[in-house]
Amino acid sequence: MDELEQRLRTTLHAADSMAVPELDPSTLVARASAKRPRSRLWSWLVAVVAAVALAVSGAVAVSTARAGVTVTVQFGDGSSDPVVGLDGQVATDLFAMVEDRRAAGEAVPSDAPAAGQGFSGFRVVASDAAKPEVVVLPDVVYVRQTSGWHRIADASGTYYARLWDVVVPQLSESDRDRLPATNPAIPRTSAAIPPQVGVTGVWELADPSRVSPASTSLKLKVTRMECASGHTGRILEPVVSYGASDIVIRTDVAQRRSTADTCQSNDWVTVTLALAEPVGDRQLIDAACLAGDAVRTSFCAAGAARWRP
């Protein structure tokens, strides 16, 4: 055995001292017993029903995919207005919210929304002619119906916030600079926002005092944001984006199979992140607090920066 092989043996055998919870035999037996064999006729029936359901959902998916929805960011400053796509689920939720408010009699006839003089909101247009054109501003939503424009008051800015969270990550840095200030303040970063690859996880430094401009690795604590009965679970490999004045880190977690979960706080899992370059004189930013469903939660109440030089 040469030196490398000896090192391998020693390093791998360090695992012998790892404390691992033992599997519970009764739990395994219960799981195995729950997987009872079914009759061939039952299996055939299940397969037929599944095939029909798949065909129906496939038709719906194709129909939805063809009905694209775009958002125009109306800067009204003489430069071109960027147009981005709107996520299918967000679009569905937006149109459903509008319809609910209209059904409740909260849509009041109004003039067309002002445009062309400064920022005038997000204009949402669907290729499906059955969906109304919608213009979303921080405290009001305009809806174009067959009888003309109507306005729906939205003092809490719910519609605006929802669109902001999905539109902003798609904009260039220069376009983001043109947007009006938000509440809570979302910092502009020199680094691009790493794309979301899983379910939202947020992070903080395990020991901020150990971070310095010379640091090339960071010990993070990550927790899953959604309800998960206290278990953060699988953490995806962190995605890092480097800019001149900040380093943006995203710590998503894997999709869970379970759906019926309680909502106590989830555990914090420690992860060591190796950086491609030293921290330098740059802020460390949690990407989850720049855009997405964590922005307006308590996780991001203190802002997106986790460390400053």
Partner 1 sequence: MAPNQAPVSFEDFVRTHSGRLTRLAWLITRNFADAQDACADALVALYPRWERVPSDPARQLGYVRRTVVNACLAVIRKRRREILVDDLAEALVTRPADESIVDQSLLLACGELPPLQRAAIVLHYYDDLSYAQIASTLGCREATARSHVRRALIALRARLAGEGDG
Q: Closest approach of Cβ 91 to partner 1, in Å?
A: 24
| Calculated CA dihedral for residues 11, 13, 17, 22, nearest 10 degrees | 130
* CA angle in degrees (0–180, nearest 5) for 201-189-176: 105
Between residues 127 and 229, which has the closer beta carbon with respect to partner 1?
Answer: 229
Q: How far is the CB of 87 from partner 1 (least distance, A)?
A: 18
Give 181's DSSP letter: P
Q: Which residues contact 124 (CB under 8 A, 6 or more apart)?
A: 69, 70, 71, 86, 91, 94, 133, 134, 135, 136, 163
Q: Report in angstroms how near the CB of residue 35 gets to partner 1 at its nearest.
A: 8
- Pick the closer one to partner 1 by CB: 265 or 272: 272
Q: Report, in Å, the least distance between residue 88 CB and partner 1.
A: 19
Q: For the CB of residue 277, give the shortest distance to partner 1 in the complex, in Å.
A: 14
Nearer to partner 1, 90 or 239 (CB): 239
Cβ–Cβ < 8 Å for 13, 6: no
Other residues' Cβ atoms within 10 Å of the Cβ of residue 202: 24
Nearer to partner 1, 1 or 103 (CB): 1
- Footprint of partner 1 on this chain (CB under 8 A)? 4-5, 7-18, 20, 22-26, 28-29, 31-32, 35, 197-198, 233-238, 254, 269-272
Label the pairing between strands 246-250 and 283-286.
Answer: parallel
For partner 1, which is the closer residue by CB, 178 or 221? 221
